[in-house]
Amino acid sequence: LLDEDKDGKLNKTDFLGNCYYWLKQILNPVSALVIVDVQNDFLEGSLALRNCPAGQDGLGVIPAINSVLDTVTFDLVVYTRDWHPQDHISFVDNVKQRPLHSSCKVKQSDAKLYDTVVFAGPPITEQKLWPRHCVQGSWGAEIHTELKIPDNHVIVDKGKRSEVDSYSAFWDNNKLSQTELVSVLSNHKVTDVHLCGVAYDVCVGFTGLHSIEHGFRTILIEDACRGVCLEDIDQMRKNLLEKGSVNCKYMQEYLYD
């Protein structure tokens, strides 16, 4: 009963399976560092975080993450990329391409950057409007060249479909499709997901919530993250902690104390 099945998957469906899963997490942790969206557009391009309400310097995550990678050996390192087609639903300059739903409070002709609109779908889809960013194959979508990339890495792209955004690196915002991230982590028997990158209140945060939902022990390296809006960062931090994440600071404790 306590064995893994022939695919090496743990039996999580019954009581003993659950106990075993938990013991394995404690006794034999397998760690992944998931580095979220450290791409040129968020750091110094069209969606540079320094121009967002919180005014944080996105580039600041680079020395922090590099230092984490230099000091800690993870069993697996995953880089996620926001990876949008030209006609993506989240781009403010595409807002006239799709009909809005009658419940949408913003008029199509007035819709502007950072507004939240409701597209008619189907399915009916709420969407915040962002500047054009991380277009597949563009400079803005590239991972910043100063970020270290170890050998044991995997890249996971998200937000690839025109009609739906994907803040989380697991599921799209309508939770109708998923990336390969959960199978990548499961195939490596990962128990602990450590998260860093940008933006804290958007893609890092939603990836963290879904990581918890999948049953991974989820650790947020807060000072290796930067975000869009201070209130949203606080709200996201509360939400993550409430759902069971462990939030920690890496640089401050290890380098400055």
Instruction: Answer yes or no: 158 catalytic.
Output: yes
Site string for ligand VGL, 26-45 (x = CB under 6 A): -----------x----x---
Residue 171 binds which of ligand VGL, Zn ion, none (CB < 5-8 A, kind-dependent): none
Q: From the candidates 158, 172, 192, 225, which is the catalytic residue?
A: 158
Q: Which CB sits closer to ligand VGL, 75 or 232?
A: 232
Q: Three-state SS across 52-94? A: CCCCCCHHHHHHHHHHHHHHCCCCEEEEEEECECCCCCCEHHH
Residue 246's SS3 state is strand
Residues 136 and 115: their CA atoms lie apart, in Å, by: 24
Which of 65, 76, 199, 229 touches ligand VGL (CB under 6 A)? 199
Residues 233 and 242: their CA atoms lie apart, in Å, by: 14
Residue 241's SS3 state is helix
- Indicate whether 202 belongs to the interface with ligand VGL (CB under 6 A): yes
Other Cβ atoms within 10 Å of 230 Cβ, number: 14
- Indicate whether 198 belongs to the interface with ligand VGL (CB under 6 A): yes
Question: How far is the CA of 226 from the CAs of 24, 56, 233, in angstroms?
Answer: 32, 6, 9
Which of 62, 78, 82, 119 touches ligand VGL (CB under 6 A)? 82
Q: Which CB sits closer to ligand VGL, 33 or 203?
A: 203
Instruction: Answer yes or no: 24 catalytic.
Output: no
Q: From the candidates 104, 134, 196, 203, which is the catalytic residue?
A: 203
Residue 202's SS3 state is helix
Q: Which CB sits closer to ligand VGL, 20 or 91?
A: 91
Residues 160 and 103: their CA atoms lie apart, in Å, by: 26
| Smallest distance from ligand VGL to CB 17, Å | 35
Instruction: Answer yes or no: 238 catalytic.
Output: no
Instruction: Find all residues with CB under 8 Å of 8, minimum gap 6, and list them.
Output: 189
Which of 43, 61, 82, 195 touches Zn ion (CB under 5 A)? 82
- Indicate whether 130 belongs to the interface with ligand VGL (CB under 6 A): yes
Which of 195, 203, 229, 233 touches ligand VGL (CB under 6 A)? 203
Catalytic residue numbers read 37, 158, 203
